[in-house]
Amino acid sequence: MAGHDSTIYRSSTTAPVNIAVIKYWGKRDETLNLPTNSSLSVTLSQADLRAHTTASCSDSYPHAQGDTLTLNGTPQDIRASKRTLACLSDLRILRRALEDANPSLPRLSAFPLRIVSENNFPTAAGLASSAAGFAALVRAVADLYELPQSPSELSRIARQGSGSACRSLMGGYVAWRAGSKGDGSDSIAEQVAPAGHWPEMRALILVVSAAKKDVPSTKGMQSTFTTSTLFPTRAKSIVPERMAAMETAIRNWDFKSFAEITMRDSNNFHATCLDTWPPIFYINDVSRAAINLVHEVNRIAGKAICAYTFDAGPNAVIYYLEKDSMQVLGTFRQILKPETEGWGGVEPVRDLMDGLMATSTGSMEKLAAGVNRVILTGVGEGPEKVKNHLVSETGEILIGSGN
Ligand code: DP6
């Protein structure tokens, strides 16, 4: 029998948020979390939004307690989360295989895990954090276990935590291939292009406060899947065609096509939500004002310079290119209340205002009344290993350590 090993093993990572331009909505298998259609997203910069996770394990952690997870300072009931259990179990199996092949490795797979995670999103932002959270969890444990698997292979595991999380294991432009196999082995994420291929892609997030809690996405998509009459066409033909067109647009730096596909796909997804029985409303009047204004800005500018997309909530994510940032940001800066938070040094630009005043005063008032904060970000890299640990070298949980 090997002697007692009291070492505290640790590995930490940060992981990004991603915002889909072709949406994942609908599961063909709930247990394995397999989607009805492929999806494609832009990974956003971790300078602005990220999850930070430390995975640690030790033979000296109480075995009776099992694995523990602390999220934003609050201990989570890991046993109640089938998804977390599924991820950890798969990661352990991979570690055990390494240990079996090389008996000189420490038996980390037999030690309890102590995982601590924090995200740096403004709490008021109401941004979904599960994608970054599960990507960080899977990456941190994989690093702790020194697993040789590629990000694509790990995406199969992260997918079981939260579907969209599989796309946060990579930077840049990422596709999640729906796959067709029953065991989900071909349902994985793949990088379509690295961030450096089209680094000019920027995102303006308009944070819209929701009066009521949205239907959680897992529940919403099940309901759409079983009741919407529009949904089968979306999954079978609309999305497959758009995936191909979107990949071509990204490869050719074609913002005009990127913008149109992004907006149409957001609208199509929200149309299936409205077609769900009973209907689900994620976008609200403020979101619709943002939609109108993006179309008006593009019309007055004479070309597509910005494109909106909405997830399962009312926040607008507006993609645009760096070269148009003055016009896009300056116009929204001019439309929103001067006290809106998050603009940094952006100055209002009046160029398009006469045109907007002629057609869109109602939308401008609605947007200004409903948005109190913006987040300026852009395309970014995948998870990064960091030395800043949320568990001390003696195993204590460190909270609020500056992320
Ligand atoms: C609208 O990944 O949160 O953001 O797999 O049930 O955890 P689960 O769902 P989740 O759904 C995200 C839906 C979406 C679209 C997208 O990100 O592609």
Burial label, 250 (beta-carbon count in 10 A; 0-12, 13-18, 19+): buried
Q: Ligand 1 within 6 A of 320 CB?
A: no
CA of 25 from ligand 1 middle (Å) equals 7
Q: Which atom of ligand 1 is nearest to the CA of 282?
A: 1
| Cα→Cα distances 188→183, 225, 263, Å | 12, 21, 25
Report the DSSP pairing between strands 173-176 and 201-208. unpaired
For residue 43, what is the enclosing H or E element? strand 39-43
Angle between helices 239-251 and 255-274 (to 10 degrees): 160
For the chain, domains (ranges, CATH) are 9-193 (3.30.230.10), 201-378 (3.30.70.890)
- In this structure, are residues 35 and 27 in contact, taking their beta carbons and an 8 Å threshold? yes
Q: Ligand 1 within 6 A of 129 CB?
A: no
Phi, psi of 353 (to 5 degrees): -65, -35
Q: Which atom of ligand 1 is nearest to the CA of 128?
A: 3
Q: Ligand 1 within 6 A of 12 CB?
A: no
- In this structure, are residues 334 and 349 in contact, taking their beta carbons and an 8 Å threshold? yes
- In this structure, are residues 272 and 255 in contact, taking their beta carbons and an 8 Å threshold? no
- Which residue is closest in CA terms to ligand 1's atom 6? 218
CA of 164 from ligand 1 middle (Å) equals 5
Burial label, 380 (beta-carbon count in 10 A; 0-12, 13-18, 19+): buried
Q: Which atom of ligand 1 is nearest to the CA of 130?
A: 3
CA of 131 from ligand 1 middle (Å) equals 8
**pLDDT of the chain along its 403 residues, tens only?**
456 789 999 999 999 999 999 999 999 999 999 999 999 999 999 998 999 999 999 999 999 999 999 999 999 999 999 999 999 999 999 999 999 999 999 999 999 999 999 998 765 556 767 899 999 999 999 999 999 999 999 999 999 999 999 999 999 999 999 999 999 999 999 999 999 999 999 999 999 976 667 788 999 999 999 999 999 999 999 999 999 999 999 999 999 999 999 999 999 999 999 999 999 999 999 999 999 999 999 999 999 999 999 999 999 999 999 999 999 999 999 999 999 999 999 999 999 999 999 999 999 999 999 999 999 999 999 999 999 999 999 999 997 655 5
Give residue for tokens 């082995």. 185
CA of 93 from ligand 1 middle (Å) equals 26
Give dist(CA 103, CA 304) in Å, integer.
Answer: 59
Query: What's the distance, Cα to Cα, between the start and end of the chain in Å?
Result: 40
Q: Which atom of ligand 1 is nearest to the CA of 163?
A: 5
Q: What is the pLDDT of residues 227-273, one digit of tens each?
A: 999 999 999 999 999 999 999 999 999 999 999 999 999 999 999 99
